[in-house]
Copies of this chain bind each other. A is one copy, B any other.
Amino acid sequence: MTINKADNIELDHGGGGQKSSELISLIRNVISDKGKWKNQMDDGATLKIGNQHLVFTTDAYIVDPIFFPGGDIGKIAVCGTINDLAMMGAVPQGLSLSMVIEEGFPMKDLLKISESIQKMSREAGVPIVTGDTKVLPKGKLDKIEITTAGVGLTKKIISNSGAKIGDVVISSGDLGEHTVALLSSRFNYKTKVVSDSKTLNKEMQAIAKYVHAAKDPTRGGLSANIIEIAEKSKAKIVLEEELLPYKKETFAIAGLLGIDVLSFASEGRFICAVSEKDAKKVLQILKKFNPEAKIIGHVEKGKGVFLKTVLGSLRPIEMPRGKLVPRIC
């Protein structure tokens, strides 16, 4: 499972599963120096400035199609980076926006994407403050690629290594609908489900003081992200099969295509670990944003992530390998 120097890059190296993790580790080993920064293995890195922490993060977007039910590449480029900052407990301060565009790309589509960026940025109250624009010759890029980076500030960092034994795991809503929206537009499959993409900073700020660990299950879905929390928190997480946060239609399309629903991505949902005593309060707050918010599992002593079936047996959940839905973000 290790990468060989003679290998070539494969699609799955970007899919958010096992191969992605390996490639990222390889690059990190070559490039990363800690310096004064902390939390570099989290959604963002942090730097102490005075009595607060600067949080810094980035994401590249190559979603296909660029316009899909419930959103477009501009919308998720804003949501994704704001949400990474929010998951760290930070108040997002501003985003950078870099667009690489294919020659011949229609100006009207660029304006539509720009308007969508503006809308999300204003809704979240996080301005786009700096940017870059490059153009590649026709045929050298598939339409448009967007990279956003973001900076946030917080006095208390939430790390995905902070889940504690006895915590409950909460999902802020039903998951995977971003992948459903993309698949339905790729395969012309009729569904009312639209992308769940939205900014999470207000939701997260409302419960931040209770949160021990949080992740937004984008690439790799619930399985990759809950495994990350369990591994980094050195704990075992048990999810209840009957509480899995997916709509019937989401299960249906996953079944139809033979893809593990646990790898389906969301672009506007998060999972978090909070202590049992705070769970009721947290759910009360989260339900104001989304009535689907619910407890989906528990943090226990041990290691690994398991699905407790309705019959009571434990099935291990593993990192998604190969055959992930490509270009979902």
Residues of A within 8 A of B (CB): 3-15, 20, 23-24, 26-28, 30-37, 40, 44-45, 47, 49-50, 52, 54, 56-62, 93-94, 96-108, 110-111, 114-115, 117-118, 121-122, 126-137, 140-142, 145, 147, 149, 151, 153, 326-327
B57 touches A54 (CB 8 A): no
A102: shortest Cβ distance to chain B, in Å? 7
- The verdict on A47 contacting B93 (CB below 8 Å), with A5-B111, A107-B4, A132-B59 known, is yes
B30 touches A114 (CB 8 A): yes
Interfacial chain B residues near A35, Cβ < 8 Å = 93-94, 126-127, 129
Q: Which of B30, B36, B130 contacts A57 (CB 8 A)?
A: B130
Interfacial chain B residues near A15, Cβ < 8 Å = 135
Interfacial chain B residues near A14, Cβ < 8 Å = 101, 133-136
29 contacts between A and B (CB under 8 A): A5-B108, A6-B107, A7-B107, A9-B106, A9-B135, A10-B135, A13-B101, A27-B99, A27-B133, A30-B114, A32-B128, A33-B118, A33-B128, A34-B127, A35-B129, A45-B94, A49-B153, A54-B54, A56-B129, A56-B151, A58-B130, A58-B132, A58-B149, A60-B132, A62-B100, A96-B149, A132-B147, A140-B141, A147-B149
A137 touches B5 (CB 8 A): no
Interfacial chain B residues near A132, Cβ < 8 Å = 58-60, 147
Interfacial chain B residues near A96, Cβ < 8 Å = 56-58, 149
A8 touches B105 (CB 8 A): yes
Interfacial chain B residues near A140, Cβ < 8 Å = 141-142
B50 touches A50 (CB 8 A): yes
Closest 3 CB pairs of A and B: A14-B135, A149-B149, A58-B96
Expressed in whole angstroms, the Cα–Cα distance for A105 and B8 within the complex equals 5
- The verdict on A24 contacting B133 (CB below 8 Å), with A30-B114, A127-B34, A141-B140 known, is yes
Q: Which of B60, B99, B121 contacts A100 (CB 8 A)?
A: B60
A136 touches B62 (CB 8 A): yes
Interfacial chain B residues near A54, Cβ < 8 Å = 49, 54, 151
A27 touches B114 (CB 8 A): yes
- Name the CB-closest residue of B to A45: B129
Interfacial chain B residues near A12, Cβ < 8 Å = 135
Expressed in whole angstroms, the Cα–Cα distance for A49 and B93 within the complex equals 11
B107 touches A31 (CB 8 A): no
- Name the CB-closest residue of B to A137: B11
Interfacial chain B residues near A40, Cβ < 8 Å = 129-130
A100: shortest Cβ distance to chain B, in Å? 5
A161: shortest Cβ distance to chain B, in Å? 16
Expressed in whole angstroms, the Cα–Cα distance for A38 and B13 within the complex equals 39
B107 touches A9 (CB 8 A): yes
A206: shortest Cβ distance to chain B, in Å? 21
